[in-house]
Structure 1
Amino acid sequence: MTVLTAGRTRPLKPLRLPAERPLGVLVAGGFLVLVVLAAALAPLLAPYEPDAIDLAASLVGTGREHLLGTDASGQDLLSRALYGARTSLVAPLLLLALAALLGVTLGTLAAWRGGWVDTLVSRVTDVMYAFPGLLFVVLIIAVFGAGMTTSVLALALAYTPTIAKYTRSVALAERAKPYIDAYRVQGMGGARICARHLVPNLGRSVVGYLVVLFGEALMSLATLSYLGFGAQPPSSDWGLMVQEGQAAVVQGAMLPALVPGTAIAAVVVAFNIVGVWAADRLGSRR
């Protein structure tokens, strides 16, 4: 559409509307901000030390002294949940960072080189897909021992083929664009094109995909801690808190398992909502 001005035509600039943020995304994002702030300020917000034991206050319900009650050892659940948020949020972040480093490297290499390199990477990822993720992680933990560090490394390897396949599919579409051939004509080497142009252009899509995976990674680590393979006592990890509070359910005390379980579910749902929205927005702007 054009407008006639003083005998000449001038193109109209398209009207740019502000990005819409649904109410659910705003609520989920605000909740995640509060969780992150609570984890960062845990030493200031927690009324008690997370490992402070008071057997006289065992399985106490909600009240002025213990807002969310206590567990079987008399430990304040609010304090443990606040400190546990640190491990429960940082561990999935490290997990995905390592998995992204390996997966993006393999996916980009397969898409750029093609041929036997692409075939080899595809076969390796297919072999890793043949094993159930949890079984693969348990096998690694059985060899190197239980613990949060081993769980993070094992899950990072388990998530690598997923990220590699996604990166490969996006990189193949990006490599077919004209600017890649333009840089080649200028004499720029393949490694330089990938590092300075191809991989940065994949950033939006990969970051959006990683945000979606964050909730799944958090749930996977909590599952390993619940099974006894991840965080070990006296850690305040949410998955471990659920496992430790399971025995109290038989005695009619639901809070020791309900508080960390609700925290896990709420954070995972919030990350899924924000992650899907972010992936759509980032993908549409590529």
Structure 2
Amino acid sequence: MTAVSADVLLPARRRRGRRRPVLVLAGAAFLALVVLAAGFAPLLAPYAPDAVDLSASLVGTSGDHLLGTDASGQDLLSRVLYGARTSLIAPLALLAIAALLGVTLGTVAAWRGGWTDTLVSRVTDVMYAFPGLLFVVLIIAVFGAGITTSVLGLGLAFAPTIAKYTRSVALAERAKPYVDAYRVQGMSGSRICVRHLVPNLARSIVGYLVVLFGEALMSLATLSYLGFGSQPPSSDWGLMVQEGQAAIVQGALLPALVPGTAIAAVVVAFNVVGVWAADRLGARR
């Protein structure tokens, strides 16, 4: 009788689960390095992010400039390190605004039901039918360009997505016996939601927000690239890509490639870690 190894008998999904933590750990380690680099940018950056040196314009990689320079002679490594602050903090602020609105609307819709649920659902459907970036551009046209307006506008654009997700998980949570038990004890609906229902949804919502972080970062970078988000002399990664685009014609790829690679790497790492976190948090609920 031929001996069969234990790994062969494992289901394919379980074998994939063994390998997944390697990618997750690599992604988490990379994100930790990015956060540390952003926090210690004043110590790690060899130059000030806005230090202009026209004599070193579009210099390639060298001992003085490890990642080269842009058209103004600004050191790309220094700009990327400082730009990580805006590129990481802005999506967090965006998701905080969206979560505050979305979780509130989704919970109220699931708890109240009836015409309240119908109204919230129709409003979120209308928001879905309207392209998010176009909605933000309209807000920027009224209130002016800038990172603050972009964060507020995208926060409103992301809120319907979070509201729909919150409503779906809140409906399932509301049907659990402990909710009826608290009602029998005379506890008000608002108190049940604030003290018990929403905290029990926190795991799932946090996992979902981690997945959305990459999309939020990409959206803000897109607005900065289009000139609606961060404004010069900011070192925002999206703005750096836009500023470095003209240098491609001159054969200098680094001014656009370096910040573009940083955006892609962080988004991929957050997606890997976010999907794993969402699976784990969802399974533990």
What is residue 100 of structure 2 aligned with on the other side?
A: 101
Distance in 1 separating the partners of 2:185 and 2:133: 48
Give the letter aligned to residue 212 of structure 1.
Answer: V
Gaps of 5+ in 1: 1-18
Distance in 1 separating the partners of 2:208 and 2:77: 32
What is residue 236 of structure 2 aligned with on the other side?
A: 237
What is residue 123 of structure 1 aligned with on the other side?
A: 122
Give the letter aligned to residue 251 of structure 1.
Answer: Q
What is residue 183 of structure 1 aligned with on the other side?
A: 182
State whether structure 2 residue 149 is matched by structure 1 residue 168: no
Q: Give the SS at the match of 1:229.
A: coil
What is residue 11 of structure 2 aligned with on the other side?
A: none
After TM superposition, list the pairs within 5 Å mapping 1:1-286 onto structure 2.
Answer: 22-286=21-285
Distance in 1 separating the partners of 2:203 and 2:226: 35
Q: Give the SS at the match of 1:236.
A: coil
Deviation at 1:120, TM superposition (A): 0.7
What is residue 4 of structure 1 aligned with on the other side?
A: none
Q: Deviation per CA, 1:115-160: give whole Å up to 9, x if none.
A: 1110111111111111111111111111111000000000000000
Distance in 2 separating the partners of 1:180 and 1:131: 36
Give the letter aligned to residue 237 of structure 1.
Answer: D
Distance in 2 separating the partners of 1:245 and 1:191: 52
Q: Give the SS at the match of 2:245.
A: helix
Q: Deviation per CA, 1:1-30: give whole Å up to 9, x if none.
A: xxxxxxxxxxxxxxxxxx966210010000
Distance in 2 separating the partners of 1:22 and 1:204: 20
Structure 1 segments of 4+ aligned residues over 3 angstroms from their partners: none
Distance in 2 separating the partners of 1:187 and 1:131: 42
Give the letter aligned to residue 222 of structure 2.
Answer: T
Q: How many residues align?
A: 268
Distance in 1 separating the partners of 2:87 and 2:203: 25
The structure with the largest helix share of the pair is 2
Give the letter aligned to residue 64 of structure 1.
Answer: G
Distance in 2 separating the partners of 1:134 and 1:99: 15
Deviation at 1:284, TM superposition (A): 0.2
Q: Give the SS at the match of 1:22.
A: helix
Gaps of 5+ in 2: 1-16
Q: For structure 1, which segment, 21-30 or 155-164, has the greater mean C-alpha deviation from structure 2 after superposition? A: 21-30
What is residue 11 of structure 1 aligned with on the other side?
A: none
Q: Deviation per CA, 1:13-66: give whole Å up to 9, x if none.
A: xxxxxx966210010000000000000000000000000000000000001000
Distance in 2 separating the partners of 1:206 and 1:62: 43
Distance in 1 separating the partners of 2:61 and 2:117: 58
Q: Deviation per CA, 1:174-218: give whole Å up to 9, x if none.
A: 000000000001111101100000000000000000000000000
Give the letter aligned to residue 46 of structure 1.
Answer: A
Distance in 1 separating the partners of 2:112 and 2:53: 62
Higher-Rg structure is: 1
Give the letter aligned to residue 158 of structure 2.
Answer: Y
Give the letter aligned to residue 101 of structure 1.
Answer: L
Distance in 1 separating the partners of 2:220 and 2:21: 30
Distance in 1 separating the partners of 2:128 and 2:275: 24
> Identity over aligned residues, as a percent?
85
